[in-house]
Amino acid sequence: MKVIPLAKQAVQLSKKKRTKYRFQKLKMCKKCNRYSVLKDQNCSKCGSAYVGIDRLVKSIFKNRLFTEAMWILMIVSIGIVAAPTVQTLYYSLVAGLIFCISYVVLTFVFMKSEFFIQLKRLLRADFKKIQAGIQFDSELAKADVKEDRLAPAYEKLREIGDFINSDQLKIRRVMVLNEIILRSDMELELEPLIPSSYDKDFVQYALEVLRINRTLITKKCIAYFIHYRDAIVIDFGMDSLIAVAGTALRMKLYIVEFSGFIEEFLEYFPKERVLRLCNILYSNPDVDWGGLSEKAKQLVAMKYHYDPDFKRFVS
């Protein structure tokens, strides 16, 4: 019996939320006492509005300042009340004012560093809660996948990916992306999803990305294809390696680093790729290209000697 593959979903992925610091994506539902890293503004459990980690830390900081200010006022008041003479009272009052002003000035000067000190304390104290919250977010993404809501599922996994860098999460993201019709206008990622071992789903996704946006094929991705080339040829054929080798021609740095890999598949490249390579080799005669330069000359002499575009490369 022939298995009919399920059609991919056409979806619209929202832009990734970007913050100056990663921790700024953390938020908390005070009612559930639960953290989340998702873009949702309200808790999916109780519906209460989330409070951002910035606001939580500032609230703790303000409470601490208020407590310290009350202690200062109390000590100054005791000094004034207990003053045996009017002169001592004035001294106590002046000293108290100087102390209060110094405290306020120092607080403002060191406010940023104090904020990060309080933040570190909060993150350490609530580390287990944060882990549990991210796990809950992960379960929400899993439920979305089961209900075939692929766009919200991927967006959740993408936000979680800023905090968890495991192969398991990377492959979950890739598997969702493989069920979606990818387009060039989507904000796709590739290098952050490279797993530490061979994975067929990742290679399938990478080859699709290569088709729609070659600029995402980076040095690390090319190295991955070279390292697992035998398994990739078995699963996807030699054309997959030829396509990846062709993308290495985008940058001179890549050509130098992967010259051996490019040389191996040079004869299979279309004319425009060979022409681009020849232009780069011709413009950089002092660079050590290994055997690539000689192989390119042989290919041009054999296959393109009649072509006017290659005239200046034919000796």
> What is the pLDDT tens value at each position of the chain, 315 positions in all?
343 446 788 889 888 888 888 888 999 988 888 999 998 888 888 888 898 888 888 887 777 777 777 777 777 677 667 767 777 767 777 777 777 777 777 777 667 788 888 889 889 999 999 999 999 999 999 999 999 999 999 999 999 999 999 999 999 999 999 999 999 899 999 999 999 999 999 999 999 999 999 999 999 999 999 999 999 999 999 999 999 999 999 999 999 999 999 999 999 999 999 999 999 998 888 888 888 989 999 998 898 888 888 888 776
When divided into structural domains, the chain yields a total of: 1
Decide: residue 42, CB within 10 A, 0-12 exposed, 13-18 middle, 19+ buried: exposed
First-to-last alpha carbon distance for the chain, in angstroms, is 59
Residue 150 lies in a domain: yes
Would you say residue 265 lies in a domain?
no
Judge whether 129 lies within some domain: yes
Contact 195, 220 (CB under 8 A): no
Tell me, yes or no, whether 257 lies in a domain. no
Residue type, 86: V
pTM metric for this prediction: 0.82
Residue 260 lies in a domain: no
In a domain, 299, yes or no: no
H helix or E strand, kind and range, residue 224? helix 219-227
Burial of 116-145, coded b for 16+ CB within 10 Å and e otherwise, reads eebbeebeeebeeebeebbebbbebbeebb
Structural domain includes residue 177 = no
Give me the domain span that covers residue 72.
22-164
Residue at 225 is within a domain: no
Tokens of 190: 């590739």
The pLDDT score that the predictor gives to residue 222 is 96
